[in-house]
A and B are shown apart, each in its own frame.
Chain A
Amino acid sequence: MAELRLMKGNEALAEAAIRTGVDGYFGYPITPQSEVIEYLMAEKPFERTGMIVLQAESEVASINMLYGGGGTGKKVMTSSSSPGISLMQEGLSYMAGAEIPCVVANIVRGGPGLGDIQPAQSDYFQAVKGGGHGDYHLPVLAPASVQEMSDFVPVAFDLAFKYRTPVLIISDGLIGQMMEKVELFEQMPRLTDEEINERYPWATNGKPAGEERRILTSLYLDPHKLEKNNFKLQEKYRNIEADEVNYELIDCDDAEYIIVAYGSSSRISQKTIKLARAEGIKVGLLRPITLWPFPKNPIDDLVKKGVKGFLSVEMSAGQMVEDVRLTVRERTKVEHFGRYGGVIHSPEEVLEALKTKIVGG
């Protein structure tokens, strides 16, 4: 039987990293995600699996350690919270350009700037529109429970190596700090150097005899070569958009109205749906699990089915609502509701917004 534990989201993420067979975690403490590195240091995975855990001197250093580790085909990971993730954007852009896999978790807090240490979802734009400079996207996974904080770590690494890209897990202080029941998956082995060489012919582990030098770079001074690299990246992004969209539909079969919400907002909205249905308002939930690629087709299907309105519920001033609008294209009503700066909306507030902005509006 699988092992059941009561864990914080941050702890589940850390334990999942060990069990995924991650080779190295390079982090720097910041609230509300410090439990990740605290858990790893207490758990000593260097004794369990040989996984390295290192507190870097800064977030900039840790993302560049991922560049080095990921470049050799190792499974490497870091986590931080909003201001720290901003510092990592340069490194993420370089890794997207050089096609180096890694996993980064952002336990989002209120912003902008230093902000506060309470839960928020205001890093959506940064997460799904690239974040750093240049034409790139990162696949973005949004867990909505402590269980998913664990389950999405191996999923993120599969995506990272399948597409040779950094992958972002975006959560917030609510999912990170809350405890729930977790079913832990079995320990997966770390890859040996031989296995890495077999699987990843791009990994820079020294020049094998008779082969060309392996180079990982995002620097192409000839614009035509850089454009070629961009064509390759764009083709990859189209493939990810075609194959990797993930979402959950709850109570949508008979729904006249749809709440679109991810992560902790989706949990709060599920309570709203219960309250609304008790009053006879037929509302369902579309929960994007991948924020990029965004689940456009299921929204399109709901529009075609005659849904009368969408409410995008986010702990931000209205970011994901833009992607909902891009998909709905004025065929029906789309509104946003959210509290921000670290304030968590209540299920009742969401219900009130649904009534005033969508049902009666």
Chain B
Amino acid sequence: MTEEIIIAGFGGQGVLSMGKILAYSGIMQDQEVSWFPAYGPEMRGGTANVTVIISDERISSPTLTAYDTAIILNQQSMDKFENSVKPGGVLIYDPNGISKHPTRQDIKIYKIEGAKVATEMGNTKIFNMVVLGGYLSVKPIVKLENVIRGLKKSLHERYHKLIPLNEDAITMGMKNVVEVN
């Protein structure tokens, strides 16, 4: 199994940390992982994306031009990455802030109202975990228990009290992902 993922959005949306938690989850179940970030020098507010690869085999290139899954969180990233999804692949996006919805017919498209769900849950910072939940519902490549173990590894101990909230956010994301086509 090899899953090649691009997660793309604005800096500050938690794109990089979502990728990191996913990568850690892969390690927790003895897989090979790579995480390669790309962001503008301006960071917050600028575009940010991360390529995450989870595989049972040794990973070759950590940078790619075609992906099994694209998780897209703003319009710039939609413009840039919709066409980079491999035929038969998956595109998951948050429609909040998207003016031009994806149109490809040869891939599976899902919507996740990450920003809306996070706001309803009373904490916009868990937005990325809602989106992660949506992804894991579509592609259960890592087990939820390993995601929680990954969270524990990637969060400083003083934030461990937030793990139950993050777990709830993932669960809410799993419930709220909608197939579009």
Q: Classify the interface of chain B: helix, strand, loop or mixed.
A: mixed
Does B60 lie within 8 Å of A270, measured CB to CB? yes
* Bound-complex Cα distance A270 to B61 (A): 7
Instruction: Check: B5 CB closer than 8 A to any chain A CB.
Output: no
Q: Which residue of A lies closest to B150 (CB)?
A: A6
How many residues does chain B have at the interface if contact means C-beta atoms less than 8 Å apart? 20
Determine the chain A residues whose CB is within 8 A of the CB of B59 once the complex forms. 180, 267
Given contacts A6-B153, A6-B154, A348-B65, contact A179 B41 (CB under 8 A): no
Given contacts A4-B27, A6-B27, A346-B65, contact A180 B35 (CB under 8 A): yes
Does A174 lie within 8 Å of B154, measured CB to CB? no
Chain B residues 13-30 with CB under 8 Å of chain A are 20, 23-24, 27
Does A178 lie within 8 Å of B34, measured CB to CB? yes
Q: Mark A326-361, 1 if CB is under 8 A from B, else 0.
A: 000000000000000000101110000000000000
Does B61 lie within 8 Å of A271, measured CB to CB? yes
Does B60 lie within 8 Å of A179, measured CB to CB? no
Chain B residues 100-127 with CB under 8 Å of chain A are none
Instruction: Check: A177 CB closer than 8 A to any chain B CB.
Output: yes
Determine the chain B residues whose CB is within 8 A of the CB of A52 once the complex forms. none
Chain A residues 156-202 with CB under 8 Å of chain B are 174, 177-181
Instruction: Check: A268 CB closer than 8 A to any chain B CB.
Output: yes
Given contacts A6-B20, A6-B154, contact A267 B62 (CB under 8 A): yes
Q: Classify the interface of chain A: helix, strand, loop or mixed.
A: helix
Does B27 lie within 8 Å of A181, measured CB to CB? yes
Determine how close the nearest CB of chain A comes to the CB of B69; give it in whole angstroms.
17
Does B64 lie within 8 Å of A6, measured CB to CB? no
Interface residues of B (CB under 8 A from A): 20, 23-24, 27, 32-37, 41, 59-65, 153-154
Interface residues of A (CB under 8 A from B): 4, 6, 117, 174, 177-181, 264, 267-274, 344, 346-348
